Structure 1
């Protein structure tokens, strides 16, 4: 994929006006209040992984509407002190998979909660275990278009609520330090982590690589790669639905969440990424913390990879994330 978005010098200054519905905050406050009416933590059962240096639990917590959401919780074995928890969200089409698949964070000394994605898990990876009982609303067959004609029915309202509830669940898990909870993810997972940063005021840190759901109005105009292409295909058939779709998307735009965030943040993007275009990632980074009501914006940084597509910096970016998070949490302890 050749370079197709704005040049890097323009991206570094790119802070477009992104339309927000007047009731954005009320919409999310009411949604999360409804979810909080359900006790968050359900079953927490030991899982056998064959990895003696790690302890893993199969966790169920209450997400949107009290629906059960599955997750893997993993900690370094033999450590009794409370640990920071890195809550990770998975990419589009993936489920939580098997507990031994994602070990970077627990091997680095953190507790790790990996949330399943409701109604996904069938496109790649090792599957998922969380159904979506609310998926019959009008819209297309893909997650990105389920219920897209009304923000109350939209799939990402449910998944973002699950992501926030995963933070609440992490605080309640054994061996977790409730004051040091980190949200992270790549692609869809990065978009969920970014939404969490805008909705959870006491998050310790955000790590978002190639986040989905950013500057959505532009994304559906400049790329037809999935999953944005699924929205494009839906509108190609439902030609009279554009206004309703754009209205729904305005409630889940990562730029709106970014503006409200207060936690320090680490971003990454590939400049040839047509799956999650870099202009959306930079828009979220450049707006980050601008409307959080605090006198100073949170610390943030972004790393761009000029010759990479959706894979971005891969292991190079992870190395940067590990060093950055260690410095952020140490600085937080020192203060």
Structure 2
């Protein structure tokens, strides 16, 4: 195993704490984003599929900047649909229009948000990150890390919150039955959105990244957390400033403010998102929770079995509203 034993994970609690102005910071950030109209633009994409209709979506995210997404709807569905808003793992984007067909095939409206400035590591992306940044380690984890207002994840989390508004505004969607879902970075984004919105019906976070930063950089040498270590190796003496910024973006602090039912997963041999960091957010989560544990897996977690469990979980929580 790469981290604590199961009996230790059961009692582990993160030492992370929220800055005194955490809620004010995010309220001001989202209020500023709200001054920009969503300006949702949909263009149907000819995919050749007979069971799913796909739309290329553009909406205005942080700073009024354009963010892309795919919207997939089951063909012929009648009545308001439950919706899943999905966020993508580190380095990835929204992918190809023919990828990721599970959720629409299962009867959900599915909005898959692109990830600004990423989307070339392992899947396609179409959204630039239009913001100046001081020098950083390759990747995005240290982009603007010296102060919260300029940090990369302030922009990305704001995009993610507004993506829920996009989904809720789709005519075929039941606005009271919208859930968020993601794995790794996408799981961390899901926790952030859960802590920033009170209108979600469910949350799924597979092996979430961006949780319990103080512990993560001490127990793993794997990337992307290693980007923080690399940064501090060069920017000596900036540790306090860096970890102060990260506290505004830590999944532990968002989890403490979340209320929607949540499904987590953790893999006990995961060097990328060590299980103790996942449990740090899991034990801090203020709403009802479930955990799927994969003792013999690494960062892939439960793979398709995670998705199978999430399908049952989301059907249950979305049907109950």
- Mean CA deviation greater in 85-94 or 217-226: 217-226
Q: Is the 8 A contact 1:138 1:149 kept in 2?
A: no
1:119 pairs with 2:88? no
| Aligned pairs for 1:23-34 within 5 A | 23-34=21-32
Q: Is the 8 A contact 2:40 2:166 kept in 1?
A: no
Out of 136, 145, 148, which is 1:148 matched to? Answer: 145
Provide the secondary structure at the position in 2 that maps to 1:260.
Answer: coil
C-alpha separation in 1, matches of 2:134 and 2:148: 11
Out of 80, 84, 87, which is 2:85 matched to? Answer: 87
C-alpha separation in 2, matches of 1:326 and 1:42: 27
C-alpha separation in 2, matches of 1:48 and 1:25: 43
C-alpha separation in 2, matches of 1:115 and 1:137: 26
C-alpha separation in 2, matches of 1:199 and 1:161: 9
C-alpha separation in 1, matches of 2:302 and 2:132: 34
CA RMSD across the alignment: 1.1
Q: Structure 2: which 5+ residue stretches go unaligned? A: none
TM-score by length of 1: 0.94
Moved over 4 A (4+): none
Out of 300, 311, 314, which is 2:300 matched to? Answer: 311
Deviation at 1:135, TM superposition (A): 4.2
C-alpha separation in 2, matches of 1:323 and 1:17: 33
C-alpha separation in 1, matches of 2:134 and 2:233: 19
C-alpha separation in 1, matches of 2:267 and 2:246: 23
Deviation at 1:208, TM superposition (A): 0.4
C-alpha separation in 1, matches of 2:238 and 2:15: 23
1:169 pairs with 2:158? no
Q: How many positions carry a matched residue from both structures?
A: 321
| Aligned pairs for 1:88-237 within 5 A | 88-125=86-123, 127-237=124-234
TM-score by length of 2: 0.98
Provide the secondary structure at the position in 2 that maps to 1:124.
Answer: coil
C-alpha separation in 2, matches of 1:279 and 1:41: 40
Q: 1:324 aligns to what? A: 313
C-alpha separation in 2, matches of 1:56 and 1:232: 41
Deviation at 1:17, TM superposition (A): 2.9
Provide the secondary structure at the position in 2 that maps to 1:232.
Answer: helix
Q: Structure 1: which 5+ residue stretches go unaligned? A: 290-297
Provide the secondary structure at the position in 1 that maps to 2:141.
Answer: helix
Q: Is the 8 A contact 1:138 1:148 kept in 2?
A: no
